[in-house]
């Protein structure tokens, strides 16, 4: 077994319900043994527009047989099932769901399809705060402990709305 960390975000439709559905679908994937969730947070869009986002991070124990790229394919399929649209030419458009693979075991990757660890995870409060909540000892390969980056995002607005038990 290895541990994968997945960031969830949404700011269109019913974001809370979209995050709940995505988390349930991730729990139901073959090879996923368990899933823990952070609380649910509200954050203003960064490099984007539209209403505030709801964000959370999942910690999933997955089979060693599942590669990071295979897990990413499954996450993209969940996004499609939940109605994710990627408008051509618009980077970081508002969305009904976003499932980002942050870490997958100790894997590091730099391909056109997948960069691990997620390249901007240490720069975003909406990733770091729920990540550290779900696992305060998580290490980012090649960078160090996630908790060490919290101070660098302290000026980004993030508000906890729900405990994990209240949204999942």
Over residues 62-117, the pLDDT tens digits come to: 999 999 999 999 999 998 888 766 655 556 656 779 899 999 999 999 998 899 99
Is 166 domain-assigned?
no
Is 168 domain-assigned?
no
Distance CA 21, CA 57 (A): 14
- Please report, for the domain that includes residue 8, its CATH number: 3.30.70.560
Three-state SS for 72-122 is HHHHHHHHHHCCCCCCCCCCCCCCCCEEEEEEECCCCEECCCCEECCCCHH
> Domain range spanning residue 137?
2-161
2-52, pLDDT tens digit by residue?
999 999 999 989 999 999 999 999 999 999 999 999 999 999 887 766 789
Is 90 domain-assigned?
yes
Per-residue pLDDT, 66: 94
Is 33 domain-assigned?
yes
**More confident call, 125 vs 92:** 125
Is 120 domain-assigned?
yes
Per-residue pLDDT, 88: 59
Is 118 domain-assigned?
yes
Prediction pTM value: 0.93
Is 167 domain-assigned?
no
Per-residue pLDDT, 144: 94
The number of domains in the chain is 1
Is 79 domain-assigned?
yes
Per-residue pLDDT, 95: 77
Distance CA 9, CA 116 (A): 18
């Amino acid at each position: 077994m290895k541990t994968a960390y997945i960031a969830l975000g949404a700011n269109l439709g019913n974001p809370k319900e979209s995050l709940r559905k995505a988390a349930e679908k991730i729990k139901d994937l073959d090879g996923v043994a368990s899933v823990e969730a952070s609380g649910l947070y509200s954050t203003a869009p960064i490099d984007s527009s539209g209403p505030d986002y709801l964000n959370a991070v999942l910690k999933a124990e997955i089979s060693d047989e599942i590669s990071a790229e295979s897990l990413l394919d499954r996450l993209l399929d969940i996004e499609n099932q939940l109605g994710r649209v990627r408008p051509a030419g618009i980077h970081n458009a508002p969305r009904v769901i976003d499932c980002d693979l942050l870490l997958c075991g100790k894997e590091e990757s730099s391909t056109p399809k997948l960069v691990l660890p997620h390249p901007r995870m240490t720069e975003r409060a909406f990733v770091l705060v729920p990540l550290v909540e779900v696992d305060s000892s998580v290490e980012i390969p090649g960078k160090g402990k996630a908790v060490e980056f919290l101070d660098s995002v302290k000026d980004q607005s993030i508000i906890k709305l729900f405990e994990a038990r209240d949204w999942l």
